[in-house]
Structure 1
Protein backbone atom coordinates (compact mmCIF):
# COMPACT_ATOMS: atom_id res chain seq x y z
CA UNK A 1 0.00 0.00 0.00
CA UNK A 2 2.95 2.31 -0.60
CA UNK A 3 0.95 4.38 -3.10
CA UNK A 4 -1.68 5.21 -0.47
CA UNK A 5 -1.26 8.45 1.46
CA UNK A 6 -3.18 9.27 4.64
CA UNK A 7 -3.79 13.00 5.17
CA UNK A 8 -4.60 14.23 8.67
CA UNK A 9 -5.38 17.82 9.67
CA UNK A 10 -4.59 18.51 13.33
CA UNK A 11 -5.28 21.48 15.57
CA UNK A 12 -4.50 21.29 19.29
CA UNK A 13 -4.59 17.49 19.36
CA UNK A 14 -1.51 16.92 21.54
CA UNK A 15 -3.28 14.52 23.91
CA UNK A 16 -4.33 12.05 21.19
CA UNK A 17 -2.39 12.65 17.98
CA UNK A 18 0.52 10.30 18.72
CA UNK A 19 -1.78 7.34 19.32
CA UNK A 20 -3.90 8.10 16.26
CA UNK A 21 -0.89 8.41 13.94
CA UNK A 22 0.89 5.38 15.36
CA UNK A 23 -2.23 3.26 14.86
CA UNK A 24 -2.51 4.42 11.25
CA UNK A 25 1.17 3.72 10.58
CA UNK A 26 0.75 0.11 11.66
CA UNK A 27 -1.06 -0.34 8.34
CA UNK A 28 -0.04 2.60 6.14
CA UNK A 29 3.52 3.84 5.84
CA UNK A 30 2.76 7.15 4.13
CA UNK A 31 1.11 9.54 6.57
CA UNK A 32 1.26 13.33 6.37
CA UNK A 33 -0.11 15.40 9.23
CA UNK A 34 -0.67 19.13 8.84
CA UNK A 35 -0.44 20.94 12.17
CA UNK A 36 -2.75 23.88 11.57
CA UNK A 37 -1.14 26.48 13.84
CA UNK A 38 -1.67 24.58 17.10
CA UNK A 39 -0.98 26.44 20.34
CA UNK A 40 -0.25 23.25 22.30
CA UNK A 41 2.40 20.52 21.85
CA UNK A 42 0.79 18.89 18.80
CA UNK A 43 3.83 19.41 16.58
CA UNK A 44 6.25 18.08 19.20
CA UNK A 45 4.11 14.97 19.61
CA UNK A 46 3.95 14.51 15.84
CA UNK A 47 7.72 14.55 15.50
CA UNK A 48 7.84 11.39 17.63
CA UNK A 49 5.61 9.38 15.30
CA UNK A 50 7.68 9.06 12.13
CA UNK A 51 4.95 10.65 10.02
CA UNK A 52 5.60 13.50 7.63
CA UNK A 53 4.79 16.74 9.45
CA UNK A 54 3.86 20.10 7.94
CA UNK A 55 3.21 23.13 10.14
CA UNK A 56 1.02 26.09 9.26
CA UNK A 57 2.43 29.11 11.12
CA UNK A 58 -1.10 30.28 11.93
CA UNK A 59 -4.45 28.54 12.20
CA UNK A 60 -6.06 28.59 8.75
CA UNK A 61 -8.78 26.01 9.32
CA UNK A 62 -9.32 22.34 8.57
CA UNK A 63 -10.09 22.90 4.90
CA UNK A 64 -6.78 24.68 4.33
CA UNK A 65 -4.89 22.00 6.26
CA UNK A 66 -6.43 19.20 4.19
CA UNK A 67 -5.62 21.03 0.96
CA UNK A 68 -1.98 21.36 2.06
CA UNK A 69 -1.83 17.65 2.86
CA UNK A 70 -3.53 16.58 -0.37
CA UNK A 71 -1.12 18.65 -2.45
CA UNK A 72 1.83 17.12 -0.57
CA UNK A 73 0.53 13.60 -1.25
CA UNK A 74 0.03 14.32 -4.95
CA UNK A 75 3.61 15.62 -5.23
CA UNK A 76 4.82 12.40 -3.61
CA UNK A 77 3.29 10.11 -6.25
CA UNK A 78 0.14 9.06 -4.41
CA UNK A 79 -2.32 6.87 -6.29
CA UNK A 80 -4.95 7.03 -3.54
CA UNK A 81 -5.41 9.76 -0.93
CA UNK A 82 -7.33 9.27 2.31
CA UNK A 83 -8.53 12.04 4.63
CA UNK A 84 -8.62 10.86 8.23
CA UNK A 85 -9.65 12.74 11.40
CA UNK A 86 -7.11 13.51 14.11
CA UNK A 87 -9.38 12.94 17.10
CA UNK A 88 -9.58 9.15 17.05
CA UNK A 89 -13.15 8.80 15.74
CA UNK A 90 -12.21 6.83 12.62
CA UNK A 91 -11.27 3.17 12.17
CA UNK A 92 -8.27 2.19 10.09
CA UNK A 93 -10.02 -1.04 9.13
CA UNK A 94 -12.71 1.05 7.45
CA UNK A 95 -9.98 2.70 5.38
CA UNK A 96 -8.84 -0.73 4.19
CA UNK A 97 -12.41 -1.59 3.16
CA UNK A 98 -12.87 1.73 1.36
CA UNK A 99 -9.64 1.23 -0.56
CA UNK A 100 -10.73 -2.25 -1.58
CA UNK A 101 -13.98 -0.77 -2.90
CA UNK A 102 -12.39 2.07 -4.87
CA UNK A 103 -10.05 -0.40 -6.56
CA UNK A 104 -12.90 -2.59 -7.84
CA UNK A 105 -13.97 -0.42 -10.75
CA UNK A 106 -14.69 3.00 -12.15
CA UNK A 107 -15.01 4.82 -8.84
CA UNK A 108 -13.40 8.22 -8.21
CA UNK A 109 -14.33 8.83 -4.58
CA UNK A 110 -15.46 6.67 -1.66
CA UNK A 111 -17.09 8.47 1.26
CA UNK A 112 -17.62 6.96 4.68
CA UNK A 113 -21.18 6.85 6.02
CA UNK A 114 -21.91 6.43 9.71
CA UNK A 115 -25.58 5.94 8.84
CA UNK A 116 -24.88 2.94 6.66
CA UNK A 117 -22.53 1.72 9.37
CA UNK A 118 -22.49 2.62 13.06
CA UNK A 119 -22.28 5.87 15.02
CA UNK A 120 -21.22 4.86 18.52
CA UNK A 121 -22.28 7.39 21.15
CA UNK A 122 -24.01 9.83 18.79
CA UNK A 123 -26.80 11.92 20.29
CA UNK A 124 -30.28 11.81 18.78
CA UNK A 125 -30.14 15.52 17.96
CA UNK A 126 -26.81 15.22 16.16
CA UNK A 127 -28.12 12.23 14.20
CA UNK A 128 -31.19 14.19 13.04
CA UNK A 129 -29.13 17.27 12.24
CA UNK A 130 -26.59 15.36 10.13
CA UNK A 131 -29.35 13.67 8.16
CA UNK A 132 -30.92 17.06 7.48
CA UNK A 133 -27.51 18.40 6.48
CA UNK A 134 -27.12 15.55 3.99
CA UNK A 135 -30.50 16.49 2.48
CA UNK A 136 -29.58 20.16 2.10
CA UNK A 137 -26.21 19.24 0.63
CA UNK A 138 -28.00 17.05 -1.89
CA UNK A 139 -30.30 19.93 -2.87
CA UNK A 140 -27.33 22.23 -3.42
CA UNK A 141 -24.86 19.83 -5.04
CA UNK A 142 -27.08 17.25 -6.71
CA UNK A 143 -25.08 14.56 -4.91
CA UNK A 144 -27.42 12.55 -2.71
CA UNK A 145 -25.71 10.89 0.24
CA UNK A 146 -26.69 9.40 3.57
CA UNK A 147 -23.79 11.18 5.31
CA UNK A 148 -22.39 14.32 3.69
CA UNK A 149 -20.18 15.51 6.55
CA UNK A 150 -18.00 12.52 7.31
CA UNK A 151 -14.28 13.28 7.32
CA UNK A 152 -13.28 9.77 6.21
CA UNK A 153 -12.81 9.92 2.44
CA UNK A 154 -10.78 8.09 -0.23
CA UNK A 155 -9.89 9.74 -3.55
CA UNK A 156 -8.09 8.48 -6.59
CA UNK A 157 -5.24 10.84 -7.40
CA UNK A 158 -7.08 12.01 -10.53
CA UNK A 159 -10.09 12.95 -8.41
CA UNK A 160 -7.88 14.58 -5.77
CA UNK A 161 -6.32 16.83 -8.41
CA UNK A 162 -9.80 18.24 -9.06
CA UNK A 163 -10.48 18.91 -5.38
CA UNK A 164 -9.39 22.50 -4.80
CA UNK A 165 -10.63 23.43 -1.34
CA UNK A 166 -11.21 27.18 -1.04
CA UNK A 167 -13.40 27.15 2.05
CA UNK A 168 -10.63 27.07 4.61
CA UNK A 169 -12.72 26.27 7.65
CA UNK A 170 -15.40 23.70 8.41
CA UNK A 171 -17.59 24.46 5.38
CA UNK A 172 -14.98 22.63 3.28
CA UNK A 173 -16.91 19.37 3.80
CA UNK A 174 -19.90 20.71 1.86
CA UNK A 175 -17.57 22.28 -0.70
CA UNK A 176 -15.97 18.90 -1.43
CA UNK A 177 -19.40 17.45 -2.20
CA UNK A 178 -20.15 20.43 -4.45
CA UNK A 179 -16.92 19.78 -6.38
CA UNK A 180 -17.73 16.07 -6.70
CA UNK A 181 -21.06 17.01 -8.25
CA UNK A 182 -19.69 19.75 -10.50
CA UNK A 183 -16.90 17.50 -11.82
CA UNK A 184 -19.28 14.54 -12.23
CA UNK A 185 -17.01 12.30 -10.22
CA UNK A 186 -18.27 8.78 -9.55
CA UNK A 187 -18.88 8.51 -5.81
CA UNK A 188 -19.86 5.57 -3.61
CA UNK A 189 -20.60 5.42 0.10
CA UNK A 190 -19.14 2.81 2.43
CA UNK A 191 -20.48 1.85 5.88
CA UNK A 192 -18.08 2.97 8.60
CA UNK A 193 -17.98 3.18 12.37
CA UNK A 194 -17.62 6.59 14.00
CA UNK A 195 -16.85 6.43 17.71
CA UNK A 196 -17.93 9.50 19.67
CA UNK A 197 -16.02 10.13 22.89
CA UNK A 198 -16.20 13.04 25.31
CA UNK A 199 -12.99 14.30 23.74
CA UNK A 200 -14.16 14.08 20.12
CA UNK A 201 -17.53 15.65 20.94
CA UNK A 202 -15.81 18.54 22.72
CA UNK A 203 -13.43 19.01 19.78
CA UNK A 204 -16.10 18.67 17.11
CA UNK A 205 -17.98 21.27 15.13
CA UNK A 206 -20.68 22.93 17.27
CA UNK A 207 -24.11 22.36 15.81
CA UNK A 208 -24.94 26.08 16.02
CA UNK A 209 -21.97 26.79 13.74
CA UNK A 210 -23.11 24.01 11.43
CA UNK A 211 -26.38 25.85 10.74
CA UNK A 212 -24.33 28.87 9.66
CA UNK A 213 -22.28 26.64 7.35
CA UNK A 214 -25.41 25.29 5.67
CA UNK A 215 -26.71 28.82 5.12
CA UNK A 216 -23.33 29.84 3.71
CA UNK A 217 -23.42 26.88 1.34
CA UNK A 218 -26.90 27.75 0.12
CA UNK A 219 -26.08 31.43 -0.37
CA UNK A 220 -22.84 30.70 -2.23
CA UNK A 221 -24.74 28.43 -4.62
CA UNK A 222 -27.78 30.55 -5.35
CA UNK A 223 -26.78 34.14 -4.57
CA UNK A 224 -24.14 35.57 -6.89
Structure 2
Protein backbone atom coordinates (compact mmCIF):
# COMPACT_ATOMS: atom_id res chain seq x y z
CA UNK A 1 0.00 0.00 0.00
CA UNK A 2 1.34 3.42 -0.92
CA UNK A 3 1.86 6.26 1.54
CA UNK A 4 -1.05 8.77 1.37
CA UNK A 5 -0.15 12.19 0.01
CA UNK A 6 0.12 15.00 2.54
CA UNK A 7 -2.93 17.32 2.57
CA UNK A 8 -1.02 20.27 1.11
CA UNK A 9 0.30 18.06 -1.71
CA UNK A 10 -3.22 16.86 -2.50
CA UNK A 11 -4.55 20.44 -2.54
CA UNK A 12 -1.68 21.58 -4.75
CA UNK A 13 -2.19 18.73 -7.20
CA UNK A 14 -5.88 19.52 -7.44
CA UNK A 15 -5.07 23.18 -8.17
CA UNK A 16 -2.68 22.12 -10.94
CA UNK A 17 -4.89 19.42 -12.45
CA UNK A 18 -4.98 21.28 -15.79
CA UNK A 19 -1.18 21.53 -15.99
CA UNK A 20 0.90 19.06 -18.01
CA UNK A 21 4.68 18.83 -17.72
CA UNK A 22 6.36 17.73 -20.95
CA UNK A 23 9.77 16.15 -20.37
CA UNK A 24 12.05 15.23 -23.30
CA UNK A 25 14.39 12.40 -22.33
CA UNK A 26 17.55 11.10 -23.96
CA UNK A 27 19.84 8.78 -22.00
CA UNK A 28 18.93 10.12 -18.55
CA UNK A 29 18.53 6.78 -16.72
CA UNK A 30 20.76 7.95 -13.88
CA UNK A 31 18.43 10.75 -12.77
CA UNK A 32 15.10 10.73 -14.65
CA UNK A 33 13.14 8.68 -12.09
CA UNK A 34 14.05 11.13 -9.32
CA UNK A 35 13.22 14.12 -11.54
CA UNK A 36 9.80 12.70 -12.40
CA UNK A 37 9.07 11.67 -8.81
CA UNK A 38 9.80 15.22 -7.63
CA UNK A 39 7.59 16.71 -10.35
CA UNK A 40 4.73 14.39 -9.45
CA UNK A 41 4.68 15.69 -5.87
CA UNK A 42 3.13 18.89 -7.22
CA UNK A 43 1.84 18.10 -10.69
CA UNK A 44 -0.31 15.02 -11.34
CA UNK A 45 0.26 15.01 -15.11
CA UNK A 46 3.77 14.40 -16.42
CA UNK A 47 4.47 13.05 -19.91
CA UNK A 48 7.99 11.90 -20.74
CA UNK A 49 9.08 11.42 -24.33
CA UNK A 50 11.92 8.92 -24.49
CA UNK A 51 13.79 10.03 -27.60
CA UNK A 52 15.50 6.79 -28.62
CA UNK A 53 17.44 6.33 -25.39
CA UNK A 54 19.82 3.36 -25.20
CA UNK A 55 20.41 3.33 -21.44
CA UNK A 56 17.16 2.08 -19.96
CA UNK A 57 15.61 5.51 -19.42
CA UNK A 58 12.20 4.23 -20.56
CA UNK A 59 12.17 1.50 -17.92
CA UNK A 60 13.00 4.01 -15.20
CA UNK A 61 10.19 6.31 -16.38
CA UNK A 62 7.66 3.47 -16.60
CA UNK A 63 8.20 2.72 -12.91
CA UNK A 64 7.22 6.27 -11.87
CA UNK A 65 3.65 6.25 -13.17
CA UNK A 66 4.27 9.14 -15.57
CA UNK A 67 2.89 8.96 -19.09
CA UNK A 68 5.54 7.49 -21.39
CA UNK A 69 5.90 8.04 -25.14
CA UNK A 70 8.79 6.61 -27.13
CA UNK A 71 10.61 7.53 -30.31
CA UNK A 72 12.20 4.37 -31.77
CA UNK A 73 15.26 6.41 -32.81
CA UNK A 74 16.77 9.65 -31.54
CA UNK A 75 15.11 12.58 -33.32
CA UNK A 76 16.33 15.45 -31.13
CA UNK A 77 14.89 17.51 -28.32
CA UNK A 78 12.72 19.67 -30.57
CA UNK A 79 10.96 16.60 -31.96
CA UNK A 80 10.51 15.16 -28.46
CA UNK A 81 8.90 18.39 -27.25
CA UNK A 82 6.58 18.47 -30.24
CA UNK A 83 5.50 14.87 -29.62
CA UNK A 84 4.89 15.56 -25.93
CA UNK A 85 2.95 18.76 -26.52
CA UNK A 86 0.66 17.14 -29.12
CA UNK A 87 -0.06 14.32 -26.69
CA UNK A 88 -0.74 16.66 -23.77
CA UNK A 89 -2.99 18.90 -25.86
CA UNK A 90 -5.16 15.87 -26.63
CA UNK A 91 -5.80 15.10 -22.95
CA UNK A 92 -9.16 16.09 -21.37
CA UNK A 93 -8.92 19.20 -19.21
CA UNK A 94 -5.38 20.09 -20.25
CA UNK A 95 -5.01 23.89 -20.39
CA UNK A 96 -1.44 24.75 -19.34
CA UNK A 97 1.76 23.12 -20.59
CA UNK A 98 5.30 23.29 -19.23
CA UNK A 99 8.51 22.13 -20.92
CA UNK A 100 10.74 20.66 -18.23
CA UNK A 101 14.23 19.16 -18.53
CA UNK A 102 15.00 15.58 -17.49
CA UNK A 103 18.49 16.16 -16.08
CA UNK A 104 17.51 17.67 -12.74
CA UNK A 105 18.32 21.29 -13.56
CA UNK A 106 14.76 22.60 -13.33
CA UNK A 107 12.89 23.13 -10.06
CA UNK A 108 9.23 22.38 -9.37
CA UNK A 109 8.89 25.51 -7.24
CA UNK A 110 9.92 27.65 -10.21
CA UNK A 111 7.06 26.18 -12.25
CA UNK A 112 4.67 27.19 -9.45
CA UNK A 113 6.10 30.72 -9.59
CA UNK A 114 5.71 30.87 -13.37
CA UNK A 115 2.07 29.86 -13.08
CA UNK A 116 1.56 32.74 -10.64
CA UNK A 117 3.21 35.16 -13.08
CA UNK A 118 0.99 33.92 -15.92
CA UNK A 119 -2.08 34.61 -13.78
CA UNK A 120 -1.01 38.01 -12.45
CA UNK A 121 0.18 39.33 -15.81
CA UNK A 122 -2.43 37.54 -17.94
CA UNK A 123 0.36 36.09 -20.04
CA UNK A 124 -0.11 33.41 -22.68
CA UNK A 125 3.51 32.34 -22.33
CA UNK A 126 5.97 32.62 -19.45
CA UNK A 127 9.66 31.96 -20.04
CA UNK A 128 12.08 31.18 -17.25
CA UNK A 129 15.04 33.52 -16.83
CA UNK A 130 18.25 32.98 -14.87
CA UNK A 131 19.00 36.70 -14.99
CA UNK A 132 15.94 38.48 -13.52
CA UNK A 133 16.87 37.84 -9.90
CA UNK A 134 20.10 39.73 -9.07
CA UNK A 135 21.49 36.65 -7.33
CA UNK A 136 19.83 34.05 -9.52
CA UNK A 137 22.66 33.80 -12.06
CA UNK A 138 25.39 33.23 -9.49
CA UNK A 139 25.34 29.46 -10.06
CA UNK A 140 25.56 29.78 -13.83
CA UNK A 141 29.10 28.89 -15.02
CA UNK A 142 30.73 32.12 -16.16
CA UNK A 143 31.42 30.95 -19.72
CA UNK A 144 27.82 29.86 -20.11
CA UNK A 145 26.68 33.17 -18.62
CA UNK A 146 28.67 35.09 -21.26
CA UNK A 147 27.28 32.96 -24.10
CA UNK A 148 23.69 33.27 -22.86
CA UNK A 149 23.95 37.03 -22.42
CA UNK A 150 25.46 37.39 -25.87
CA UNK A 151 22.75 35.20 -27.44
CA UNK A 152 20.01 37.36 -25.92
CA UNK A 153 21.78 40.54 -27.03
CA UNK A 154 22.37 39.57 -30.66
CA UNK A 155 19.12 37.71 -31.31
CA UNK A 156 16.61 40.01 -33.07
CA UNK A 157 13.67 37.98 -31.73
CA UNK A 158 14.99 38.01 -28.17
CA UNK A 159 15.44 41.79 -28.38
CA UNK A 160 11.94 42.22 -29.78
CA UNK A 161 10.52 40.24 -26.85
CA UNK A 162 12.90 42.00 -24.42
CA UNK A 163 14.14 38.67 -23.12
CA UNK A 164 16.97 38.46 -20.62
CA UNK A 165 17.46 34.70 -21.15
CA UNK A 166 16.75 33.48 -24.69
CA UNK A 167 17.71 29.80 -24.22
CA UNK A 168 16.04 28.59 -21.04
CA UNK A 169 14.25 25.27 -21.44
CA UNK A 170 11.70 26.01 -18.71
CA UNK A 171 8.66 27.43 -20.49
CA UNK A 172 4.95 27.71 -19.76
CA UNK A 173 2.28 27.90 -22.49
CA UNK A 174 -1.47 28.22 -22.21
CA UNK A 175 -3.64 26.21 -24.60
CA UNK A 176 -3.94 29.04 -27.14
CA UNK A 177 -0.16 29.33 -27.39
CA UNK A 178 0.64 25.60 -27.31
CA UNK A 179 -1.94 24.89 -30.00
CA UNK A 180 -0.24 27.33 -32.37
CA UNK A 181 3.31 26.19 -31.67
CA UNK A 182 4.72 23.79 -34.26
CA UNK A 183 8.36 22.89 -33.72
CA UNK A 184 10.07 21.88 -36.97
CA UNK A 185 13.72 21.97 -35.88
CA UNK A 186 14.46 18.62 -34.28
CA UNK A 187 17.78 19.52 -32.67
CA UNK A 188 18.72 22.09 -30.03
CA UNK A 189 18.00 24.99 -32.41
CA UNK A 190 14.33 24.54 -31.53
CA UNK A 191 14.88 27.02 -28.67
CA UNK A 192 15.56 29.84 -31.12
CA UNK A 193 12.71 28.64 -33.30
CA UNK A 194 10.32 28.99 -30.35
CA UNK A 195 11.43 32.56 -29.60
CA UNK A 196 11.07 33.44 -33.29
CA UNK A 197 7.51 32.08 -33.24
CA UNK A 198 6.68 34.05 -30.11
CA UNK A 199 8.10 37.27 -31.56
CA UNK A 200 5.70 37.19 -34.50
CA UNK A 201 2.74 35.55 -32.75
CA UNK A 202 1.12 38.49 -30.99
CA UNK A 203 0.87 36.35 -27.85
CA UNK A 204 1.43 37.94 -24.45
CA UNK A 205 4.89 36.84 -23.31
CA UNK A 206 6.40 37.38 -19.85
CA UNK A 207 9.54 36.23 -18.05
CA UNK A 208 9.78 34.86 -14.52
CA UNK A 209 12.87 34.44 -12.35
CA UNK A 210 14.09 30.85 -12.02
CA UNK A 211 17.15 29.11 -10.67
CA UNK A 212 18.97 26.33 -12.50
CA UNK A 213 20.65 23.55 -10.54
CA UNK A 214 24.08 22.95 -12.06
CA UNK A 215 25.14 19.58 -10.66
CA UNK A 216 28.22 17.63 -11.74
CA UNK A 217 25.86 15.41 -13.73
CA UNK A 218 24.10 18.25 -15.54
CA UNK A 219 27.38 20.04 -16.23
CA UNK A 220 28.69 16.88 -17.88
CA UNK A 221 25.53 16.64 -19.98
CA UNK A 222 25.33 20.36 -20.81
CA UNK A 223 25.83 22.03 -24.19
CA UNK A 224 29.32 22.92 -25.27
CA UNK A 225 30.24 26.14 -27.01
CA UNK A 226 30.50 24.32 -30.35
CA UNK A 227 26.88 23.19 -29.93
CA UNK A 228 25.93 26.85 -29.69
CA UNK A 229 27.65 27.48 -33.00
CA UNK A 230 25.77 24.53 -34.49
CA UNK A 231 22.47 26.03 -33.32
CA UNK A 232 23.21 29.27 -35.17
CA UNK A 233 24.18 27.32 -38.28
CA UNK A 234 20.96 25.26 -38.16
CA UNK A 235 18.88 28.41 -37.79
CA UNK A 236 20.56 30.22 -40.68
CA UNK A 237 20.15 27.15 -42.90
CA UNK A 238 16.48 26.88 -41.97
CA UNK A 239 15.87 30.57 -42.75
CA UNK A 240 17.43 30.16 -46.19
CA UNK A 241 15.16 27.22 -46.89
CA UNK A 242 12.17 29.32 -45.83
Structure-1-length-normalised TM-score: 0.94
Name the structure 1 match of 2:33: 18
Which one has a bigger Cα radius of gyration?
A: 2
- Number of residues of Structure 1 aligned to a counterpart in Structure 2: 224
The answer for the alignment partner of 1:173 in structure 2 is 191
| Unaligned runs of at least 5 residues, structure 1 | none
Q: Corresponding residue for 1:7?
A: 22
Query: Which residue does the alignment assign to 2:172?
Result: 154
Tell me, in whole angstroms, the C-alpha distance in 1 between the residues paired with 2:187 and 2:237. 16
2 CA distance for matches of 1:140 and 1:2?
31
Tell me what 2:116 maps to.
Answer: 100
For 1:198 and 1:105, the matched residues in 2 are separated by 36
Question: Are residues 1:48 and 2:63 paired?
Answer: yes
The equivalent of 2:8 in structure 1 is: none
1:195 aligns with 2:201: no
Alpha-carbon distance, 1:119 to partner: 3.5
Out of 166-175 and 102-111, give the one that drifted further. 102-111
Higher strand share: 1
Q: CA deviation at 1:140?
A: 7.2
Match 1:121 to one of 128, 139, 148 = 139
In the TM superposition, what is the alpha-carbon distance from 1:30 to its structure 2 partner?
A: 0.4
Long gaps (5+) in structure 2: 1-15
SS state of the match for residue 211, structure 2? strand
For 1:68-107, list aligned pairs within 5 A. 68-77=83-92, 78-107=94-123
Map of 1:37 onto structure 2: 52
Q: Deviations over 1:76-123 (max 9, x none)?
A: 031100000000001100100101111234311000001113235322
Decide which of 190, 198, 204 is 2:222's aligned counterpart.
204
Q: Normalising by the residue count of structure 2, what TM-score does the alignment of the two structures yield? A: 0.88
Structure 1 residues 223 and 47: CA distance shift in structure 2, 3 A: closer
Q: Distance in 1 between matches of 2:74 and 2:241?
A: 28
Cα RMSD (Å): 1.7
Q: Secondary structure at the match of 1:32?
A: strand
